[in-house]
Amino acid sequence: MSSRQDLYPSRQQAEPAWMERQDPVVYTQDRAEAPLAPELIAQFERDGYMVIPELFCAAEVAAMSAELERLRNDPAVLASDKAIREPQSGALRSLFEIHCHGGLFARLASDARLAGLARFILGGDVYIHQSRMNLKPGFAGKEFYWHSDFETWHVEDGMPRMRALSASILLTDNDSNNGPLMLVPGSHRHYIGCVGKTPKSHYQYSLRRQEFGVPDDVSLSRMVGRYGIDTAIGPAGSVVFFDCNTLHGSNSNITPAPRNNLFFVFNHVENRLQAPFCDQPPRPAFIAQREPVPPLEVQPRTNAPDSA
């Protein structure tokens, strides 16, 4: 390990450690320039997330769902390392790097409604750090345990600062019964240093069932006791934006209704990845973009499927 500073140490101590966030949440000062109502930006800053109902219209959602179905049924896709299966059933759980092959999902990554907002919140040029589609099937969708994305991106990928956010596009209606995203509002202002050393090739199973880099029970109880739990629910086409350090997770889904989402993670160009903050090699590029890819050129909102 070099002598560079680690602002957010984790998985290095025997006891959990809390510290305060050392970075802004919203980087652009002039809220008058916001592409959304200033109240929403203030809500994002306070809670670490916001839900924008039906940001994409039904026709756009239909086009995205068709593309998702095409990918999930492509044998080459299923056989790739980018496809993560459910531990027991073997069903597709996540597919990574969905924005790199042209087509609809590539255009979506640059859409003003996502990339334009990310530019505002993160204060300048951004690129896609990670993209994926998540499928929580009906009847047998498994839970995602509580975690801060930033903790993993920092330790395992070498993301130095908190200057990234996720946009999750709901492709199916999310209600309180089908395992919606749960978030702890306000948790993004704290950083929980986790216990346990990162094991070798951790990502190969952490994407199926995370065991390291998850907060301890006491810290979780304390955080939830202080801030409570919000649920990100809404009709298909809604988008959940959340800060890289907001604690989130979801319960299982035994209802017949699947819960499919697209995820795009935007990172600021001045926050590009360094060497990981652990003694393991970096994770593969399809999980964490390490190359100096050019910033996204924000495209005016397009109305798929006409433009597809």
Contact residues for a copy of itself (CB under 8 A)? 138-139, 142-143, 145-146, 176-177, 179, 182, 217, 220-221, 224-225, 229, 231, 249-257
Closer of 82 and 142 to a copy of itself (Cβ): 142
Closer of 179 and 193 to a copy of itself (Cβ): 179
Region of residue 242 (left: phi > 0; alpha: psi -120 to 50; beta: else): beta
Region of residue 306 (left: phi > 0; alpha: psi -120 to 50; beta: else): alpha
Residues in the chain: 308
CB of 209 to a copy of itself, least distance (A): 10
CB of 184 to a copy of itself, least distance (A): 10
**Distance (Å, whole) CA 246 – CA 250:** 13
CB of 214 to a copy of itself, least distance (A): 10
CB of 272 to a copy of itself, least distance (A): 32
Of 33, 116, 48, 128, nearest in space to 298 by CA: 116
DSSP 189: G
CB of 183 to a copy of itself, least distance (A): 11
The 10 Å Cβ neighbour count of residue 18 is 12
Of 103, 34, 47, 105, nearest in space to 240 by CA: 47
Closer of 120 and 242 to a copy of itself (Cβ): 242
